Amino acid sequence: MLKNGQSIPLDSIPESSFEQFRSALLAEVSGGARVVNFSAQPIGEVRAILFAVLADDAQGSLRVLKTRVDDSYPSLTPDCPQVHMFEREMWENLGLTPVGHPWLKSVRSHDDPANHPFFTMVGQDVHEVAVGPVHAGVIEPGHFRFQCTGEVVQHLEVQMGYQHRGVESAMVGGPHKRTMSQIETVAGDTTIGHAIAYCEAIEALSGTQVPERAQALRALALELERLANHVGDLGAIANDIGYLPPAAFCGRLRGDLLNVTTTLTGSRMGRSFVRPGGVTQDIDDAMLTELRATLDTARSQCVDATGLLFDSRSSVARMTGTGVITADECRELGIVGVAARASGVEVDVRMHHPTGWYESAGLSPVVETTLDSLARVTVRRNEIEQSFAIAEKLLKALPGGPIRVTCADLKSNSFAVSMVEGWRGEIVHLATTDADGRFATYKIVDPSFRNWSAVTTAMRGEQISDFPLCNKSFNLSYCGFDL
Amino acid sequence: MLNLLRVRQRQGHKTTAFPKALPQLPARFRGRPLIDSSKCPNGCTECVDSCPTDAIQITVGKPQFDLGKCTFCLECTEACPENAIAFTPKFAMATSTRDDLIIGDEGLRLAEALDKKTRALFGRSLAFRQVSAGGCNGCEAEVNALSNVVFDLSRFGISMVASPRHADGLLITGPVTQNMRQALETTYNAIPDPKLVVAVGGCAISGGPFRNMPATNNGAESVVPVDLYVPGCPPHPLTILDGLLRLLDRIESGERQAG
């Protein structure tokens, strides 16, 4: 047992037989726990240690299960679908075969597409639509393969990997000089989220206590990131349904919020702000006044602009019932973040596994229950209001003291998990260190790694022309998935 | 409808006056670095050692920055014992050649206008196909921001188009992953000649934080010739806009800015 942002010695995690591992994992999941990370540490040629991290949201605790496997093991996916992508990933990266996995194919590699056929349907009315990797807009690349009967999508398969840069393998043996820059660009629109997750892992492994003021400034930056992206998403959704005034207003407001982040950090994306031990820049009284005034104005204008989406009956009608994913589907697939909360699943790291400033924040998750694009839009609008309130609270009572302390060396042979609620959802970093206190493994789970399954599920039975709206209502990262 | 008009009224007019007037960016914004090598003690290599992307080297006792590799982080300014390095809010940094991105004390040769014949072709209407080839969505987001009402790219006759067949140029972001190399080449070949290539961001110029990694190439130039280099991690939308307008001779270009 451990908590978010804590480290434990590797040898304190009991190793069990695969059968015990399997039954413990399935028992935890049927008791309501979620698998937030499932990864392998290679030892020798084929043998590997598997770590599964299970989150108990009610207790705010994490349980780590550990077992040892040879080159194959009976797949857990048929009994626990939420691990399906983790098992594919370990198969691809380390050659560990999950025997009985229902759809075992590459996650990121593009060696020979013939080795990785797409799911196809046959029948007189069936036709196939292939889109990507280069899409029509200014957007990251990925390949979408639709199996349709007429206009109706029966199945969508998303093939990623085009953005794969090798972030995780570059971490091994680190931290290196470049590590922080690479972490900040895991998903460049989630710079603060991933930077906090990484720094909390480092701080757990080095036993560092981050000063209160730094914790508050990190929370401020994280909420500013959420604000800019949520407002931008609502504008992009308005654009995709052809309602241009809110698209224009939200596009501009997103920029205003990025400019607030620039005022604070010197970068629109918040680069170089969060560092192990704290943050790099402080706020003085003049800046405090400026930030509060700017955010006040932005808040009322955001209420105006995003309210338009709900005032127009045709806009609400367009989003209602489009791209439905049920709460049960979300739980089965391990969906996180805005997508899960819009389907009535209460998962939010800031409330269930809080660290830093959030431990005493007393927030409640923003939840909707209509399961559709409208629900995802509504969750964003309400979270915008929540984040403005958090920012206001933070700026009213910033704790004093230093903003950064020096971190000691990382403990050797240790294990740490850190989770952050990024604007898309739950970010999970898992680090293990070797005998020299360097990273032996580093596993990054961006919310997009979980949530692309939500997009494909939500598209089933929808018209293919609904894809842009459905896709935008999730707005997932490609490079966050591809790493 | 009435409410829509009221909201429109309250939102106001937000389009930047650039390039007629120079917008003031926040004081902390990290644009072009200012190097004062007169402060550098003999043999000091603190900045070089601290740089995560090897963007700094010492040439004849003076630090030189490769803006094409720089991520505009704070490592060198924090490491420098003499405060000889500072990032300024100056956003104009795009250049016509790779070498021009390497700067010391003396300033930066900004992008030059295209020749008259090419300008006659593209000056009033320039369409780009954008391809992200391993970009982190930082540069992509800033390119997207160019189309919002603040920067309003289309008022200059510049647009982003869906088909490479309709494009006059390619705007590349990302270090060019192995998995995107073929798609990038195909897109480039699908654009009719003559065509322009713009590399946006440190990754597209040099590979950035992902330089010399097995899954990536070292930027756009490893695959296609580049006509405009826009440094930044990610570049501010104004840095991109400034570069494009210089190409089209809409901004006086070619001068060495005072250090």
* pLDDT at site B141: 96
Q: What domain range includes position B55? A: 33-90
**Nearest CB to A177; choose among B52, B162, B216:** B52
CA A56 distance to own-chain centroid: 18
Contacts of A244 in chain B (CB under 8 A): none
Return d(Cα A390, Cα A360) in angstroms, integer.
Answer: 12
Give the domain CATH number at A393: 1.10.645.10
* B68/B143 same-domain check: no
* B160/B39 same-domain check: no
Tell me how close the Cα of A425 comes to any Cα of chain B, in angstroms.
Answer: 17
Return d(Cα A220, Cα B216) in angstroms, integer.
Answer: 34
Does residue A275 sit within a domain?
yes
Contacts of A140 in chain B (CB under 8 A): 132, 135, 137, 140
Does residue B231 sit within a domain?
yes
Give the domain CATH number at A15: 3.30.460.80
Q: Contact at 8 Å (CB) between B214 and A166? A: yes
Does residue A256 sit within a domain?
yes
Does residue A280 sit within a domain?
yes
* pLDDT at site B255: 47
pLDDT tens digit at each of 259 positions of chain B:
788 899 888 888 889 988 888 888 999 999 999 988 889 988 899 999 999 999 999 988 889 999 999 999 999 999 999 999 999 999 999 999 999 999 988 789 999 999 999 999 998 999 999 999 999 999 999 999 999 999 999 999 999 999 999 999 999 999 999 999 999 999 999 999 999 999 999 999 999 999 999 999 999 999 999 999 999 999 999 999 999 999 999 886 544 443 3
Question: Which of A48, A76, A99 is a domain's end point?
Answer: A99
In Å, the largest CA–CA distance within chain B is 69
Helix (H, G, I), strand (E, B) or coil at B63: strand
Does residue B121 sit within a domain?
yes
* pLDDT at site A25: 96
Does residue B18 sit within a domain?
no
Does residue A133 sit within a domain?
no
Does residue A163 sit within a domain?
no
Q: Does residue B135 belong to the interface with chain A, where contact is any CB pair within 8 Å? A: yes
Question: Which of A99, A120, A155 is a domain's end point?
Answer: A99
Give how far Cα A165 sits from Cα of A105, A179, A186, A304, B201, Å: 19, 13, 9, 40, 16
Nearest CA in chain A to B28: A266
* pLDDT at site B253: 52
* B155/B42 same-domain check: no
**Nearest CB to B73; choose among A140, A181, A304:** A181
* B137/B200 same-domain check: yes
Does residue B132 sit within a domain?
yes
Question: Which of A83, A99, A115 is a domain's end point?
Answer: A99
Q: Contact at 8 Å (CB) between A53 and A61? A: no
Q: In what order do the strands lie in the sheet with A143-149?
A: A126-131, A143-149, A152-159
Return d(Cα A120, Cα A131) in angstroms, integer.
Answer: 15
Q: Contact at 8 Å (CB) between B176 and B217? A: yes
* B181/B139 same-domain check: yes
Give the domain CATH number at B81: 3.30.70.20
Return d(Cα A269, Cα A281) in angstroms, integer.
Answer: 14
**Number of domain units in chain A:** 2
Residues 6 or more apart in contact with residue A114 via CB below 8 angstroms: none
Does residue A126 sit within a domain?
no
Tell me how close the Cα of B161 comes to any Cα of chain A, in angstroms.
Answer: 7
* B217/B144 same-domain check: yes
Strands B169-173, B196-200: pairing kind: parallel
Q: What domain range includes position A442? A: 170-450
Q: Contact at 8 Å (CB) between A76 and A25? A: yes
In the numeric block, which tokens belong to residue A193?
């989220």
Q: Which amino acid is at B185?
A: E
Helix (H, G, I), strand (E, B) or coil at B116: helix
* B140/B188 same-domain check: yes
Mutate: best of B85, B158, B179, partner A, most A CBs <10 A: B179
Tell me how close the Cα of B256 comes to any Cα of chain A, in angstroms.
Answer: 25
Q: Does A140 sit within 8 Å of B25, measured CB to CB?
A: no
Q: Does A272 sit within 8 Å of B72, measured CB to CB?
A: yes
* B123/B242 same-domain check: yes
* A189/A89 same-domain check: no
**Number of domain units in chain B:** 2
* B80/B164 same-domain check: no
Return d(Cα B104, Cα B122) in angstroms, integer.
Answer: 33
Does residue A162 sit within a domain?
no
Contacts of A161 in chain B (CB under 8 A): 179
* B204/B162 same-domain check: yes
Return d(Cα A405, Cα A199) in angstroms, integer.
Answer: 12
* A225/A354 same-domain check: yes
Return d(Cα B45, Cα B105) in angstroms, integer.
Answer: 16
Q: Contact at 8 Å (CB) between A98 and A76? A: yes
Q: Does B53 sit within 8 Å of A263, measured CB to CB?
A: no
Give the domain CATH number at B179: 3.40.50.12280
Tell me how close the Cα of B177 comes to any Cα of chain A, in angstroms.
Answer: 6
Contacts of A294 in chain B (CB under 8 A): none
Q: Does residue B45 belong to the interface with chain A, where contact is any CB pair within 8 Å? A: no
Q: Does A478 sit within 8 Å of B210, measured CB to CB?
A: no
* pLDDT at site A16: 95
**Nearest CB to B149; choose among A248, A262, A307:** A248
Nearest CA in chain B to A110: B179
* B57/B122 same-domain check: no
* pLDDT at site B21: 86
Q: Does A269 sit within 8 Å of B138, measured CB to CB?
A: yes
Q: Which amino acid is at A131?
A: V
**Nearest CB to B149; choose among A178, A188, A251:** A251
What size, in residues, is chain B? 259
Q: Which of A41, A447, A463, A7 is nearest to A207 (CA)?
A: A7
* B239/B169 same-domain check: yes
Helix (H, G, I), strand (E, B) or coil at B14: coil
Q: Does A245 sit within 8 Å of B160, measured CB to CB?
A: no
Q: Does B215 sit within 8 Å of A188, measured CB to CB?
A: no
Return d(Cα B121, Cα B116) in angstroms, integer.
Answer: 9
* pLDDT at site B258: 38
Q: Contact at 8 Å (CB) between A308 and A302? A: no
Q: Contact at 8 Å (CB) between A168 and A373? A: no
Does residue B107 sit within a domain?
no
Does residue A129 sit within a domain?
no
- The overall pTM is greater than 0.90: yes
Return d(Cα B210, Cα B71) in angstroms, integer.
Answer: 11
Does residue B212 sit within a domain?
yes
- All residue ranges of chain A with pLDDT < 50 are none
Q: Which amino acid is at A268?
A: R
Positive/negative CA dihedral, A171, A173, A176, A180: positive
Residue written as token pair 């647009």:
B159
Does residue B255 sit within a domain?
no
**Nearest CB to A245; choose among B8, B78, B208:** B8
CA B117 distance to own-chain centroid: 25
Question: Which of B46, B73, B90 is a domain's end point?
Answer: B90
